[in-house]
Structure 1
Amino acid sequence: MLHAVTDSSVSGPVSGQENPPQFRRVLLKISGEALMGDQNYGIDMPMADRIASEVAEAVRAGTEICLVIGGGNIFRGLSGAAKGMDRAAADYMGMLATVMNALAMQTALERIGVQTRVQSAIPMTTVCEPYIRRRAIRHMEKGRVVIFAAGTGNPFFTTDTAAALRAAEMGCDALLKGTQVDGVYSDDPRKNPDAERYDQLDYLDVLTRDLKVMDASAVTLMRENAIPIVVFSIHEKGGLARVLAGQGVCTMIGKPRPAPSAGK
């Protein structure tokens, strides 16, 4: 059964809607580049506002949502390491970039009445909460959006892996990855017009074909916990709500869990 949103500022009809959400709780992973909009660097607040409106619509429909946002629009650890920087130091800088993005998204969400909490894997209590699993779950049960920042808190792990880890810890029904294209392709469709698009894949298909969806460690973690990965375009207006309702254009990796039964 879907959890009702308790915050009156974002409450809306949960039961009796034409296309109720097929997932009770999800983690949405978006790249830092998604926040750039048409810019070459940094945060484009109109783009952050548009993504926030998509998340708000999903919350009003009754889905509990947590987010992980990458930091590539500000600093990417691998790029810093490639230029001679110590890899661990570069990764920590990348984690700080994700905190900046998380705070920007929190601002965008709260401007439209969605209560939001940022939890960082690297404690910085002046600007956000430390990551505490039970507290994060309680926030979502109360209808708040939780944004997990600073990755796993460890170097050498990407935000894809952090997203998979948090999805498993939160007991999410799916990990949704908002990308630049509308699903998983055999090649980059922006460079290869003949690239094949997949509607359904198994976790092992992704790993054996080396499809560039998420890191192998993230895919493996989702496979071990039987959490499906849903890949869709973050740039399609209303795309998140349609995917949650089972109507959007996307690629499903793994099989969706059975819908929660009434009273469960």
Structure 2
Amino acid sequence: MSLASLVPDTRVDPALLPSLLPWSLRFNFLYPYCDLFSHIVPTEPGPPRWNAELEAYYRTFDTQVWYLLGHDHDTDTFALEKLRSRQGELKRRKRKKEHGDGVPWADLEAAIAAVQSRILMRWSKLLGLHEIRLVFLRPLEKLHHSYDDFYLMRKVLPPMPYERPIARPCSLWPISARVPHYCDRQKRVCLWHDGVNWDEYALPDRPTTDSARRRFEPTAAEVLEDAEESGEAGWAEATMDDTTTPLLLARSNGARSSAFIPAFTGLFHRRHGQAT
């Protein structure tokens, strides 16, 4: 089995995603509710600080974008759990390679690092906005299960002054997957369109003293290296659907050294067919 075959195919290449979530937004509104980034900012137990401005920008993205990114996350999370299980079995048996023509320990370790890096990249560039919104909505939906999420947001979010996004609702398609045939492609701003400045569609940056002080965020490779030195729970022990905790992902231990990750993940950057 080749090294590349250990990392699953996904619909969207996270390396091609534009970075639409500015640093201060992530630091102040997203990272505090995801244990994956607890080395950057302490995890908070309360509900996320979702507001009318975040909701307005969230709605500029086509809803299928969240479905595809979430599906890819689930694919990677499932693969990561399986890879860790296989690695754990090798460790239990004190072997460096699976039986017969099986996979060596080093390949499992490299595949785990690649999948973890992809999860980090996808979450920090865009998916984190959707996942934190789900965390905010979860207790509301339990109380008002007969209402849809847009109705709930209109009811619970207080009005606030903010500059309206320039994109129309459901118009942004910043991913490499094709726009579904049932969507009006003429009304979508797509990743492959010429002359699109995606910085114009990024969410507003709201710097604070703390976010400015921590401006130099660790890279994905450094996050994994930091996780290697920790003794915390593995990634597969918490998921984004865990209703018992606001932690969307737990940090990993035993990740491969950071110098190897950028070169290895480049093997799995696939460009999907692009619509015209």
TM-score > 0.5, shorter chain as reference: no
What TM-score do you get using the length of structure 1 for normalisation?
A: 0.26
**Which is helix-richer, 1 or 2?**
2
Tell me the TM-score normalised to structure 2 length: 0.25
Of structures 1 and 2, the one scoring higher in RCO (CA 8 A, sep 6+) is: 2
Q: Which structure has the larger Rg?
A: 2
